[in-house]
Amino acid sequence: MTDGHPTSAPDHLTDVVVLGAGPAGLLLANILLDHGIDCVVLERAGRAALATRARAGFLAAHTVRVLERHGLADGLHRRGQPHSTCEFRTEESRFRLDYGGLGQGEQHTVYPQQELVGDLLRRFLAAGGQVRFATEAMAIVDADTERPVVTAREPDGRPGRWRARYVAGCDGRHGAARRSLPAGTARHHRDHGVTWLGLLAEAPPSLDAVGYAVHERGFAGHMARTSEITRYYLQCAPGTPADAWSQERIWDELDRRMHAKAYGPLVRGPIVQRTVVDLASDVLEPLRHGTLFLAGDAAALISPSAAKGANLAVLEAELLARALTDALLHGDTEGLDTYSARCLTHIWRAQEFSHWMIGLLHGPPGTDGATRFHNNLRRARLHSLRTSRSQQDWFAEHYVGV
Ligand code: RFL
Catalytic, 212? Answer: yes
CA distance 213 to 196: 13
pLDDT band at 367 (very low <50, low <70, confident <90, very high): low
- What's the confidence (pLDDT) of residue 305? 86
Is residue 6 predicted with pLDDT exceeding 50? no
Is residue 92 predicted with pLDDT exceeding 60? yes
**Is the CB of 134 within 6 Å of ligand 1?**
no
Going by C-alpha positions, the residue among 120, 119, 133, 113 that lies closest to residue 48 is: 133
Is residue 365 predicted with pLDDT exceeding 70? no
How high does pLDDT run on average in the chain?
93
- Give Cβ neighbours of residue 369 (< 8 Å, ≥ 6 apart): none
- Residue 200 carries which side chain, given as an amino acid letter? L
Residue 104 vs residue 16, higher pLDDT: 16
**pLDDT cut 70: percent of the chain above it:** 97
**Is the CB of 160 within 6 Å of ligand 1?**
no
**pLDDT cut 90: percent of the chain above it:** 85
Query: Annotated catalytic residue: which of 166, 212, 232, 233?
Result: 212
Catalytic, 304? Answer: yes
Query: Could you tell me how far CA 397 lies from the centroid of its own chain?
Result: 18
CA distance 124 to 96: 40
> Which atom of ligand 1 is nearest the CA belonging to 57?
43
Please tell me the distance between residue 301's alpha carbon and the centre of ligand 1 in angstroms: 9
Do residues 82 and 61 make contact, with C-beta atoms less than 8 angstroms apart? no
Structural domains of the chain sorted by starting position, each given as residue range(s) with its CATH number in brackets: 12-80+111-188+281-353 (3.50.50.60)
Query: Annotated catalytic residue: which of 308, 346, 355, 398?
Result: 308
Q: What is the dihedral of CA 50, 55, 59, 60, to 10 degrees?
A: -130
For residue range 152-168, list pLDDT tens digits in order: 999 999 999 999 999 99
Please tell me the distance between residue 22's alpha carbon and the centre of ligand 1 in angstroms: 6
Nearest CA to ligand 1 atom 44: 56
pLDDT band at 91 (very low <50, low <70, confident <90, very high): confident
**Is the CB of 44 within 6 Å of ligand 1?**
yes
For residue range 243-282, list pLDDT tens digits in order: 999 999 999 999 999 999 999 999 999 999 999 999 999 9
pTM: 0.94
Nearest CA to ligand 1 atom 50: 55
Please tell me the distance between residue 27's alpha carbon and the centre of ligand 1 in angstroms: 13
Q: What is the mean pLDDT of residues 299-318?
A: 95
Going across the sheet that includes 271-285, the strands are 94-97, 86-89, 210-213, 220-224, 230-236, 186-201, 271-285, 300-301
Catalytic, 108? Answer: no
